[in-house]
Structure 1
Amino acid sequence: MKMEFDTGYRKGNFGRSSLPKKPNEIMRVLVTIAVGMMFGFFIGVSFPSLSLTKLNITTALIHDFVIIGDKSTANSTQDTASTSSSSSNQVTTDVSKIWVPSNPKGAEMLPPGIVASESDFYLRRLWGKPSEDLTSKPKYLVTFTVGYDQRKNVDAAVKKFSENFTILLFHYDGRTSEWGEFEWSRRAIHVSARKQTKWWYAKRFLHPDIVAAYDYIFIWDEDLGVEHFDAEEYIKLVRKYGLEISQPGLEPNRGTTWQMTKRRGGQDIHKVTEEKPGWCSDPRLPPCAAFVEIMAPVFSREAWRCVWHMIQNDLVHGWGLDFALQRCVEPPHERIGVVDAQWIVHQTVPSLGNQGEAEDGKAPWKGVRQRCQKEWEMFRNRMENAEKSYFKSLNFTRNT
Structure 2
Amino acid sequence: MGVPLRSCNVRKPNETMRLIITTFAGIIFGFFIGVSFPTLSLTKMNLPSSLFPSIDLTYIEDKYSGLSTQALFNALNSLKANKVVSMPSYKNNETKIWIPTNPRGAERLPPGIIASESDFYLRRLWGQPSEDLTVKPKYLVTFTVGYNQKNNIDAAVKKFSENFTIVLFHYDGLTTEWDEFEWSKRAIHVSVRKQTKWWYAKRFLHPDIVAPYDYIFMWDEDLGVEHFDAEEYIKLVRKHGLEISQPGLDPNSGGLTWAMTRKRDNTEVHKDTEERPGWCTDPRLPPCAAFVEIMATVFSRDAWRCVWHMIQNDLVHGWGLDFSLRKCVEPPHEKIGVVDAQWIVHQSIPSLGDQGQAEGGKAPWEVVRERCRKEWTMFQDRMTNAEKAYYEAMGMKPSNLTAH
Q: Scaled by the length of structure 2, what TM-score is found? A: 0.75
Alignment-derived partner of residue 253 in structure 1: 252
- The aligned amino acid for 1:111 is P
- Whether the 8 Å CA contact 2:226–2:344 is kept in 1: the answer is yes
Q: CA–CA distance in 2 between the matches of 1:176 and 1:203?
A: 21
Partner of 1:395: 395
1:70-89 pair list within 5 angstroms: 74-78=89-93
Q: Let me know the Cα RMSD of the aligned residues.
A: 1.3
Aligned to 1:163, what secondary structure does the other structure show?
coil
Residue matched to 1:369: 369
Deviation at 1:110, TM superposition (A): 1.1
SS in 2 for 1:234: helix
Find the counterpart in structure 1 of residue 270 from structure 2: 270
| Residue type of the alignment partner of 1:223 | D
Q: Which amino acid aligns with 2:357?
A: E
Describe the superposition over 1:201-252 as per-residue Cα deviations: whole angstroms up to 9, x where unpaired: 0000000000000000000000000000000000000000000000000001
Q: CA deviation at 1:282?
A: 0.7
- 1:351 is matched with which residue? 351
| Residue matched to 2:383 | 383
Deviations 1:353-396 (A, max 9, x none): 00000001110000000000000000000001101111111129
User: What is the letter of the counterpart of residue 192 of structure 2?
Assistant: A
Deviation (angstroms), 1:323: 0.1
Q: Specify the SS of the correspondent of 1:305.
A: helix
How do 1:1-400 residues align onto structure 2 when only pairs under 5 Å count?
Answer: 74-78=89-93, 94-96=94-96, 98-255=97-254, 256-395=256-395
The 1:73/1:300 distance shift into structure 2, 3 A limit, reads: closer
Q: Summarize deviations over 1:110-135 as a string: whole Å, max 9, x none.
A: 11111111000000001111111111
Amino acid at match of 1:301: R
Q: Tell me, what secondary structure is at the counterpart of 1:77?
A: coil
* Off by >3 Å, runs of 4+ in structure 1: 72-77
Question: Structure 2 counterpart of 1:109, which letter?
Answer: R
What's the offset of the Cα at 1:74? Answer: 4.9
Q: Distance in 2 between matches of 1:384 and 1:95?
A: 50
What do residues 159-191 of structure 1 show as CA deviations (whole Å, max 9, x unaligned)?
000000000000000000000000000110000
Conservation of the 8 A alpha-carbon contact between 2:88 and 2:95? no
Q: Partners in 2 of 1:74 and 1:154 — Cα distance?
A: 58
Deviation at 1:77, TM superposition (A): 3.5
Q: Is the 8 A contact 2:141 2:217 kept in 1?
A: yes
**Deviation at 1:99?**
1.4
In 2, the alpha carbon distance for the partners of 1:218 and 1:375 equals 23
1:18-47 deviation digits (Å, cap 9, x = unpaired): xxxxxxxxxxxxxxxxxxxxxxxxxxxxxx
Tell me the amino acid that sits aligned with residue 202 of structure 1: A
Identity of aligned residues (%): 77
**Aligned partners of 1:73 and 1:139: how far apart in 2?**
44
Distance 2:323 2:355 in 1: 26
In the TM superposition, what is the alpha-carbon distance from 1:257 to its structure 2 partner?
2.2
- One-letter identity of the residue aligned with 2:90: N
- Uncovered stretches (5+) of structure 1, i.e. residues with no partner: 1-71, 79-93
Match for residue 46 of structure 2?
none
One-letter identity of the residue aligned with 1:167: I
Q: Distance in 2 between matches of 1:196 and 1:291?
A: 25
What is the Cα deviation at residue 102 of structure 1? 1.3
Distance 1:75 1:134 in 2: 45
Which secondary structure state, in structure 2, belongs to the residue aligned with residue 339 of structure 1?
Answer: strand
Q: Is the 8 A contact 2:285 2:291 kept in 1?
A: yes
Is the helix fraction higher in 1 or 2?
A: 1
CA–CA distance in structure 2, aligned partners of residues 76 and 359 of structure 1: 65
- With normalisation by structure 1, the TM-score equals 0.76
AA in 1 matched with 2:168:
L
AA at the equivalent of 2:333: H
Alignment partners' CA distance in 2, 1:184 and 1:170? 15
**Residues 218 and 298 of structure 2 are in contact (CA less than 8 Å); yes or no, is this contact kept in structure 1?**
yes
Q: Give the letter aligned to residue 155 of structure 1.
A: D
| Residue identity matched to 2:236 | L
Q: Deviations over 1:277-324 (max 9, x none)?
A: 111111011000000000000000000000000000000000000000
Distance in 1 (alpha carbons) for counterparts of 2:360 and 2:375:
20
SS of equivalent to 1:337: strand
Alpha-carbon distance between aligned partners in 2 of 1:77 and 1:290, rounded to the nearest angstrom: 60
What letter matches 1:251 in structure 2? D
SS in 1 for 2:386: helix
